[in-house]
């Protein structure tokens, strides 16, 4: 297990294939026609994943997924608008924080860390506050692994005459999102999640009409999606230095995604990983935080063992020494750790990780 790169059981960066890594060995000119064509192809293929060819466009952006979330809210929501953020974990809280920091009006509907967002409560909040123009939703809340009910929530937002901004960072490409069935102004994701690229590029798939109406709204020069899109329309180029190697790796990763069978096949592999993981955790005596009906096959939050010898940093280092990298917990009310199910991995890697966890626990004297 230690002769290869570590198995990253994290929600991104994650384990990538040899083909994806190899794609970064070539240098690209940032204004070169070949690189411009590569960027255009990546954007077209991303739009196709949500069946958005008729009325959606893809705007790529340098940076992490959070950069793209801030860009989408700052560009698409009018400065006099108000965002209702639906929170049930750390990434909903982050969306609320960045909205406040850019000086936009905000309302938060918090569902705690153990429950999905309730469409009925959202409908009530929208009816009670006509000043709300947009709703921000995390599709899969990565801090716990909760999957929020996107079709029902999108319908509530549409029927209330509001616009949906969807953070699909940990779901895009694996969980179904169909632009013809789900009403949204924007879907936001990044290169280093379920499409199994490397970090460094976020992207926003926006309704063309919403983006066309957004000129002059952004609070930021570099995070102005409208200007990024218009510049790319005129020139084929990124406005500022693009992450060339990241784009090349992403193009390779998308090609592998398509060859695997697209969204359905990617979801099936992640579901198999998740099922193998949960079964193995139960054999080790470890308990998942979420019930099965709430668990998305992206990342599993695990209760820490109730044992005096438990120490996550010690456990982490022992498992890492056997070639597996885990993720710390992000809950506020209890101690947990997290194990990702995504990346260029399958059942063999999940079994190797479970073996490493079992050996680490035994070495720590924890018989759970």
Query: pLDDT tier at 289 (50, 70, 90 boundaries)?
Result: very high
Contact predicate 244/30, CB 8 Å: yes
Contact predicate 202/190, CB 8 Å: yes
Looking at residue 2, its pLDDT comes to 41
The token duo for 160 is 């209330």
Which of 7, 118, 46, 11 shows the shortest CA–CA distance to 346?
7
CA–CA separation, 74 and 51 (whole Å): 25
Query: pLDDT tier at 331 (50, 70, 90 boundaries)?
Result: confident
For residue 12, pLDDT beyond 50:
yes
Q: Decide the pairing of beta strands 146-147 and 140-141.
A: antiparallel
Percent of the chain, pLDDT > 90? 94
CA–CA separation, 163 and 155 (whole Å): 11
Phi, psi for residue 356 in degrees, rounded to 5: -60, -40
Structural domains in the chain plus CATH codes = 7-13+261-363 (3.90.1150.10), 19-259 (3.40.640.10)
Query: pLDDT tier at 332 (50, 70, 90 boundaries)?
Result: low
User: What value does the mean pLDDT of the chain take?
Assistant: 96
Per-residue pLDDT tens over the stretch 16-58: 999 999 999 999 999 999 999 999 999 999 999 999 999 999 9
| Residues 144-166, mean pLDDT to the nearest whole number | 97
Looking at residue 1, its pLDDT comes to 40
Looking at residue 268, its pLDDT comes to 98
The count of other CB atoms within 10 Å of the CB of residue 117 is: 24
For residue 152, pLDDT beyond 50:
yes
Looking at residue 368, its pLDDT comes to 66
For residue 3, pLDDT beyond 60:
no
At 29 the three-state DSSP class reads: coil
CA–CA separation, 69 and 96 (whole Å): 11
User: What pTM value is reported for the model?
Assistant: 0.95
* DSSP string of 43-101, one letter each residue: HHHHHHHTT-TTTEEEEEEES-HHHHHHHHHHHHS-TT-EEEEEESSHHHHHHHHHHHH
């Amino acid at each position: 297990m230690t002769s290869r790169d570590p198995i990253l059981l994290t929600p991104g960066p994650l384990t990538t294939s040899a083909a994806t890594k190899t794609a970064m060995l070539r240098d690209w000119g940032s204004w070169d026609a070949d690189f411009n064509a590569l960027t255009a192809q990546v954007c077209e293929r991303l739009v196709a994943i949500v069946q958005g060819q008729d009325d959606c466009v893809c705007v790529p952006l340098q940076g992490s997924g959070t950069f793209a979330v801030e860009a989408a809210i700052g560009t698409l929501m009018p400065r006099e608008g108000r965002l209702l953020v639906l929170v049930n974990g750390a990434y909903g809280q982050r969306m609320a924080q960045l909205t406040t920091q850019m000086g936009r009006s905000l309302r938060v509907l918090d569902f705690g860390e153990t429950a999905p967002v309730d469409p009925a409560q959202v409908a009530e909040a929208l009816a009670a506050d006509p000043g709300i123009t947009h709703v921000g939703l995390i599709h899969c809340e990565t801090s716990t692994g909760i999957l929020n009910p996107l079709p029902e929530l999108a319908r509530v937002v549409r029927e209330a005459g509001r616009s949906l901004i969807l953070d699909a960072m940990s779901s895009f490409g694996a969980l179904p999102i169909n632009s013809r069935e789900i009403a949204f102004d924007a879907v936001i994701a990044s290169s280093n999640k379920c499409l199994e690229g490397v970090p460094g590029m976020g992207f926003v798939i926006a309704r063309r009409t919403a983006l066309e109406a957004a000129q002059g709204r952004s609070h930021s020069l570099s995070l102005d999606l409208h200007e990024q899109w218009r510049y790319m329309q005129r020139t084929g180029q990124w406005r500022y230095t693009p992450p060339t190697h990241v784009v090349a790796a992403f193009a390779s990763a998308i090609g592998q995604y398509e060859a695997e069978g697209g969204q359905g096949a990617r979801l099936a592999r992640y579901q198999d990983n998740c099922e193998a993981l949960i079964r193995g955790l139960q054999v080790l005596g470890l308990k998942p935080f979420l019930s099965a009906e709430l668990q998305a096959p992206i990342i599993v939050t695990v209760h820490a063992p109730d044992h005096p010898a438990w120490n996550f940093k010690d456990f982490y280092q022992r498992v890492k020494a056997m070639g597996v990298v885990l993720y710390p917990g992000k809950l506020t009310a209890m101690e947990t750790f997290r194990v990702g199910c995504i990346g260029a991995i399958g059942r063999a890697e999940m079994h190797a990780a479970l073996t490493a966890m079992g050996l680490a626990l035994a070495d720590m004297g924890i018989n759970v």
